[in-house]
Chains A and B, each alone.
Chain A
């Protein structure tokens, strides 16, 4: 038994010193080495980037309300969709789950006092801030219009926008990813509590570990690629521009060698969150633990073998295209393993539809659509028709927003009581989750249809026959926007007037629920010794969860 409060779940915990009360000065935050405080600072910054990216998305959808180029000029529109992509991908989607939830929870979930390299952790935050500040500065100066992909030779030769400054911001930001990944790998190898064997690790930790491998192996390549782009743009060395002896398709190879695995940097941690939610809110040991764990590693490895499917119509060899197409089908297998295992976990589970679980179920549906439409795009023949249409836009938003963002929101709601010690309004949480689900589908499903009908992406105007579906999309975006703003309000309000959460509000056996909420600076009063298997809901877990639940129901009635 690790913590008496875990048994008394639902009953407000006695106030204790915790990481939030351990110093209130600005210095105590800016120079902290506590992984939890660093995670909170990441949370605030990342949320700001998400809102900025969302504003750009609003501008895009408003422009596309009518077929004409009216709200924005074409040149401005190019900058708007580029900046939406850059902010969302490099400054929200990639860092969000690892830097916020991973930073906060990974050490606690393995029974450690902190990450293995706390100073490096703080350094990664500062690097993220510097890279972000430089990028925002460049965007405010006039921005960049190349698309987030920076395709050459446009980016090296023709674009008059702030390619260099934004590229430098992304280059710097990459080191933040590398350091976070390095920290996680070292921590998982060296800081596990006694008894926390590899196959007792929560699947969220496995997912973070796999993600870290991709971060470390892939991110240097994009850094080098951006550097090469800068060298060509400034010095005129022929690397990518065919006019001076370069090869533009080489840029695409190097860019996608990182940027496709980057998709897995974004989605793998989300899958880790979903594994936690599905098992814990079904109150059932997860089906096929080892398969899910190793499928994360398989996705990380195979994810490096499929980048050419972004280049089917670029001039890449048809034989290379065939190989990449085949491998793209292969990488779908480990993702499918996860989906089947999650579904099997739900079967005969004692499912409770709390807000985090609503997000998890939403994830399963949306990621399924995103994944299956990926097969359309990975098929070397069909993709010729679909390339650079809104079908692609819909597909990756189903994976990125329907997958990663939904999982992130689910994770934030799930661990919010642990992070803050406060419960949020379940009512507004559920309303918000449903608005996000409905708004998201209304926004992006019509884009599959207009894309299949031939509407190209990245244009401010379009033929009038596509307008009805675009109006659906814009209307859906406004619903989605409301759904996404709501958590800012009710989660913020919970900090002021939220009910004390207790240490284990969901009554779960995981290690993070066996310490106080919010956790103390050193995470545990004494180093825990793990004697139970992962997702063990029986008495073997050492917690009388059923008894605690009964007591909680009685106290609620009273």
Chain B
């Protein structure tokens, strides 16, 4: 994205593009709803949750890239966006290290 676009505030992908992204979000939501009825946990525990999170992550990526204009933004904005994921990963990872190691070692039952 050129600076000119940033200055003029043009819709980067235009209304058809925005409607396309919105459609993807709606389809993703419907897909999340129906997939919750599938017994994916029989494949491996947590598979249902994993699929739901994958859909949510995809939807969020579209929102960030196009609705929030990150796709056309300077590198500093990209860095901020990536850093926020890194930070989110910290929250999940350090919380999960608790859940995954409960009952292990001296406290195993």
Contact = CB atoms under 8 A, between A and B. Distances in A.
Contacts of B75: none
B30 to A, nearest CB: 21
Contact of A253 (B98, B101, B105): B98
Interface string B59-98: 0000000000000000010000000100100110011011
Interface string A187-200: 00100000000000
A352 B26 CA distance: 66
A257 B91 contact: yes
A183 to B, nearest CB: 15
Given A253-B98, A308-B98, A319 B104 contact: yes
B87 A316 contact: no
A300 to B, nearest CB: 11
A316 B97 CA distance: 10
Contact of B105 (A221, A249, A319): A319
Contacts of A217: 84, 87
Contact of B101 (A221, A305, A307, A320): A320
Chain A interface, >50% SS class: helix
A317 B104 contact: yes
A323 to B, nearest CB: 6
Nearest to A253: B95
Interface string A290-323: 0000000000000011011000000111111001
B34 interface: no
A233 to B, nearest CB: 22
Nearest to B76: A189
Contacts of B94: 305, 307-308, 320, 323-324
B43 interface: no
B4 interface: no
Contacts of A249: 98
A253 B95 CA distance: 7
Contact of A305 (B90, B102, B104, B107): B90
Nearest to B95: A253
A304 B98 CA distance: 16
Contacts of B101: 317-320
Interface centre among B100, B102, B105, B106 (most CB of A within 10 A): B102
A471 to B, nearest CB: 42
Interface in A141-189: 189
A320 B91 CA distance: 13
Contacts of A253: 95, 98
A494 to B, nearest CB: 43
A221 B91 contact: yes
Contacts of A315: 102
Interface string A210-231: 0000000100010000000000
Interface string B16-53: 00000000000000000000000000000000000000
Interface centre among A217, A257, A317 (most CB of B within 10 A): A317
B95 A304 contact: no
Interface of A: 189, 217, 221, 249-250, 253, 257, 304-305, 307-308, 315-320, 323-324
25 contacts: A189-B76, A221-B91, A249-B98, A250-B95, A253-B95, A304-B87, A304-B90, A305-B90, A305-B94, A307-B94, A308-B94, A316-B98, A316-B102, A317-B98, A317-B100, A317-B102, A317-B103, A317-B104, A318-B101, A318-B107, A319-B97, A319-B101, A319-B104, A320-B94, A320-B98
Given A317-B101, A317-B107, A319-B105, 6 more contacts: A315-B102, A316-B102, A317-B98, A317-B102, A317-B104, A318-B105
8 closest residue pairs by CB, A with B: A320-B98, A319-B101, A317-B101, A317-B102, A253-B95, A317-B98, A320-B97, A316-B98
